[in-house]
A and B are shown apart, each in its own frame.
Chain A
Amino acid sequence: EAGVTQSPTHLIKTRGQQATLRCSPISGHTSVYWYQQALGLGLQFLLWYDEGEERNRGNFPPRFSGRQFPNYSSELNVNALELEDSALYLCASSTQGFVGINQPQHFGDGTRLSIL
C-alpha cells in the first residue's frame, strides 16, 4: 500500500512569490491535513480537508489556502511568500474526518520550502 506522497521534496522561492505544494493521500483516505513545522516553533496545524470541503483552519493568514480534489488529493497554496514561511510542510491523511477522528493520521515526508 502506497503511503502519503508529497511533491516537490524541496522548493526554493523568493519573497513575494507564490508556492504550490501537493499531497496524495493513502488510497481510501478522504481526510487530508496540512501542518507547518518551522524551526524552533514545532508543528502547527494549518488546514483540514474532508470530502472536498475545508473542515477546519488553524491560526494562519488567508494567504495560506488550499483545496481538495475529487480524487482526495490536495494542494496547499501560499501567496505573497515571506521569509518566515520557510519550513517543512507536512501532509497527513486519515479515514473520514468526523467519523475517523480516532483514527491515526499517516504522514508524508514533507516539502521543505525555503524562502530567499
Chain B
Amino acid sequence: KQEVTQIPAALSVPEGENLVLNCSFTDSAIYNLQWFRQDPGKGLTSLLLIQSSQREQTSGRLNASLDKSSGRSTLYIAASQPGDSATYLCAVGDSNYQLIWGAGTKLIIKP
C-alpha cells in the first residue's frame, strides 16, 4: 500500500531564504508526483507535476525533483516571499489512477 510522508510538518523561515520541502513515498511504481499549495479555507492549486520518466520540473521560483528509486521528491522554493505562506501538499499518482496524498507541510514566511 502506497504511503506518502511529508517532512517537516511545519516550517517557519524569514523572507528571502531559499527552502526545501520533502516528500517520500513507499512504492516506486508511480505514474507521476504532483505538488500543490492550499491556502486556508480554499481548494488546492497545482504547482508542478513530474511524470515518472522525468527527474525535475521548474516553474518560476519553484523547482521540484523526483528520485523514484529512493522514493523521494523535493520542492525547492527560491527567494521566499510572505505570499508563499500556505500548506504544501505532495501527491503521487499510483497504478490505480488514484492520487495518494501526504499530510502537508505548513509553511510560514516571516516578513
Give me the interface of A with B, judged by CB distance under 8 Å: 4, 33, 35, 42-45, 48, 55-56, 58, 90, 92, 97-98, 101-110
Residues on A with beta carbons closer than 8 Å to the beta carbon of B43: 4, 90, 107-110
> Which one of A42, A97, A101, A107 contacts B102 once the chains associate, using CB atoms below 8 Å?
A42
Chain B residues with Cβ below 8 Å from A4 are 43
A-B contact count (CB 8 A): 56
Q: Is B32 an interface residue (CB 8 A)?
A: yes
- Alpha-carbon separation in the docked complex, A45 to B103 (Å): 13
Chain B residues whose C-beta falls within 8 Å of the C-beta of A105 in the assembled complex: 34, 46, 99
Mark each residue of chain B from 99 to 111: 1 if its CB lies under 8 Å from any CB of chain A, else 0.
1111110000000
Q: A111 to chain B: closest CB distance in Å?
A: 10
Give A104's nearest chain B residue, CB to CB: B46
Cβ–Cβ contact B45 & A43, under 8 A? no
Whether the Cβ atoms of A48 and B51 lie closer than 8 Å is no
Question: Could you list 11 further interchain pairs (A-B, Cβ under 8 angstroms) beyond the known A4-B43, A45-B98, A107-B43?
Answer: A42-B102, A45-B99, A48-B98, A56-B98, A97-B97, A101-B93, A102-B31, A103-B49, A104-B34, A107-B44, A107-B46
Least Cβ–Cβ distance between A100 and chain B, in angstroms: 10
* Main secondary structure on B side of the interface with A: strand
Q: Which of B67-111 contact A (CB under 8 A)?
A: 89, 91, 93, 96-104
A109 touches B32 (CB 8 A): no
Can you report 9 residue pairs joining A to B where beta carbons are below 8 Å apart? A42-B104, A43-B99, A90-B44, A101-B32, A103-B49, A105-B34, A106-B46, A107-B36, A109-B41
Q: How far is the CB of B95 from chain A (nearest CB, A)?
A: 10
Q: Which chain B residues numbered 44 to 60 have a C-beta less than 8 Å away from chain A?
A: 44-46, 49, 51
**In the bound complex, CA of A110 to CA of B42 (Å):** 7
